A and B are shown apart, each in its own frame.
Chain A
Amino acid sequence: MISLTQNEILKILLKKKMLLIFMLLLIFVSLLSYGQKYSYDNTIKKFEAESGGVAYDWKGLTTQRLNDLEERSGNAFIPEEVRASIDREMQQLNYFIENDINPITPTASKFNVQFVEQGITLFIPLLVVILAADLVSSEFSKKTIKILLTRAVPRWKILFSKFLALLIMTTLLVFIIAVSSTLVSYLFFQQWGFSEPIVTGFRLVGDQLNSDSTILISRFQYTLLIYSLLWFVSIIMASITLMISVLVDNSSSAIGILMAALIGGQFLQFFLSEWTVVKYFFVTNLDLTRYLTGSYQPIEGMSLNFSILILSAWAAVALIISFMVFNRKDVIV
């Protein structure tokens, strides 16, 4: 079993898929961080030009915000929970003032979280698809499946070793995304920013976003949380891709089907948000990070637990189907 997996990993490495993915990542990350740096510099320049050559005074604005919050916190009419969340925001602003950090400065840690938040629905799943789509289908199209199956091992073991290899490579892929987006954006921004505090822990009560239970954690911890969610999503995508790869016998149609599913899923969510069945589709549930940042639920009744459950169900069904089909498939190549 281990040697089978070892063999599968070697096959993936020899295909130079990782190199392709890494190059894609490098190009996108450098472009995006350059763009962010450029627009940040422009904003500051514009601000300075508008205010007549005065240097951009973030401290004044932050202090003003802080005073405003203090005043609110002192208001007798606001309930205790709201006061607690105001206090957390004040703590956050105080950190920026004490450490002399402009809160809107782009940093490497902010960038890599943003990259995941934007990429988790389309770009990163596509990278996983590139990695996984030809795992089984290319064995059929290149007719190497015959050689593989003539070994004295049961078919399910062969597929399982492929799945294990895929899990290992997906985990590495998430790590590579984290490292490359952090390092490349550091080159542009020259700021790590991993110790900045950030507010998280929003939850939905009824229809409303509730910030009573928010907590303050460092950006490093937050990044870890975001990447863990990304990892989970990537594993799910890998399982679904494996199924498609077993069902179709050439890799380009496998990639095509998955791309159509991913992009079509975004459309579905956009046009049919009234129709509640859409929330059981896996693409609609990919965006797990939005539950941590506290943005709105796309369709009513969706929560982190719900999405995790739906995604796990999809992956489980996908794996069951792939093992059943792979075991029974006629090999006529």
Chain B
Amino acid sequence: MYKKVIWPLLLFISMALAVVFIYGFIASVAVSKSGQSAPIDPQPESSINSPADSDFILGDASEILILGDSIGFGVGDEENLGIGKRYLNLMAEKEEDLKTITNISVPSYESSELVQLIKNAENKASIAKARLIIISIGGNDLNRLDYEDSVSLTLAFKEALGIYKENLAIITQEIRAINPGAQLALIGLYNPYGKEDPEKNNFVLEWNYETSLITDSDVAFAYVPTYELFKYHLNDYLSPDEFHPNSSGYQIIAEELHRILN
């Protein structure tokens, strides 16, 4: 029985499997290497036209510039105003002279991508002209850690925070090199997950603390805290995706910004 059936069967199955596995092994090495030769182009094609959004006229003096991720972009705002326009509305009550907004935020952007965007020559003009630059960045850097397992989480957090701090310093330097006079404001992070996970709260707090240390090193760099604003009002201020603010959430951020800057 053993010599006639089981042994040839085992031998055949394992040889066939070995062939399949070797093939798969080579394929996975190839997959993880694919495109290694393709160099990344840090500068997007310069032939790309300026944003077609009819609200903004690029090249014209735009006094508020919004840089960053989906929160800068205004994802989740039912009235589609975003922080910039809401702030402008608050200012209009006082008849101040800030009028135009340029929004070059890209949803899902991380700090490293924002560094590239700022270094891009196309955006230098809008940075140079701005009087107020609102930056919202870091949320995606931190949120990506959701995919980490619990063992490597703390390590991954430290690493992400380190990279983020470096990037934020570069962003500040680059902006200051182009536009030394503008008022900067950075929107802090809130915790959209509520009390589910106390460790996440600690991460957000540490993240915000490190961020505020960096903003403090510049004379005209305001840090706009949102953690406390959202903490007890997650149901009121979050949009249905349970991640981005809704219109009241954006309004409260804009009000906080207004209160801090004036």
Contact = CB atoms under 8 A, between A and B. Distances in A.
A6 B18 CA distance: 18
Interface in B1-56: 2-3, 6-7, 10-11, 13-14, 17-18, 20-25, 27-29, 31-36, 38, 40-41, 44-45, 48-52
A305 interface: yes
Contacts of A295: 147-149, 152
Contact of B6 (A13, A171, A270, A298): A13
Contacts of B13: 172, 175
Interface stretch (B102-110, B172-180, B214-222): B102-110
Interface string A222-233: 001111110110
Interface string B148-180: 110110011001000100000000000000000
Contact of A200 (B17, B21, B31, B163): B31
Contact of B23 (A10, A78, A201, A228): A228
Residue among B23, B29, B148 with most chain A CB within 10 A: B29
A72 interface: yes
- What range describes how many residues of B lie at the interface? 35 or more
Nearest to B52: A76
Nearest to A75: B106
> Secondary structure of the B side of the interface?
helix
Nearest to B159: A296
A178 to B, nearest CB: 9
A6 B7 contact: yes
A76 B49 contact: yes
B257 interface: no
B18 A304 contact: no
B33 A203 contact: yes
Contact of B10 (A168, A292, A303, A305): A168
B35 A201 contact: yes
A80 B17 contact: no
B117 interface: yes
B40 A227 contact: no
A296 B148 contact: yes
Contacts of A174: 17, 21
Contacts of A168: 10-11, 14
B79 interface: no
B248 interface: no
A207 interface: yes
B199 interface: no
Contacts of B185: none
A327 interface: no
A298 B104 contact: no
Interface residues of A, number: 57
Given A172-B17, A207-B163, A292-B28, A298 B44 contact: no
Contacts of B31: 200-201, 215, 217, 225, 292
Interface in B47-103: 48-52, 70, 75
Contacts of A227: 21, 24
B112 interface: yes
Nearest to B163: A207
A6 B3 CA distance: 8
A6 B8 CA distance: 9
Given A171-B17, A172-B13, A71 B117 contact: no
B44 A225 contact: no
A81 interface: yes
Contacts of B32: 201-203, 291-292, 303-304
B214 to A, nearest CB: 19
B228 interface: no
Contacts of A304: 28-29, 32-33
Interface in A248-273: 266, 270, 273
B106 A78 contact: yes
B7 to A, nearest CB: 5
26 contacts: A9-B10, A10-B7, A13-B6, A64-B240, A72-B106, A76-B49, A77-B44, A77-B48, A77-B104, A80-B45, A172-B10, A172-B13, A175-B13, A203-B32, A203-B35, A213-B38, A215-B31, A215-B34, A225-B27, A226-B28, A228-B21, A231-B18, A232-B21, A270-B155, A292-B28, A298-B155
Interface of B: 2-3, 6-7, 10-11, 13-14, 17-18, 20-25, 27-29, 31-36, 38, 40-41, 44-45, 48-52, 70, 75, 104, 106-108, 112-113, 116-117, 123, 147-149, 151-152, 155-156, 159, 163, 240-241
Given A78-B44, A200-B31, 19 more contacts: A9-B10, A10-B7, A64-B241, A72-B108, A75-B51, A167-B14, A167-B18, A172-B14, A201-B35, A203-B32, A207-B163, A213-B36, A213-B38, A215-B34, A217-B31, A225-B31, A231-B25, A266-B151, A296-B152
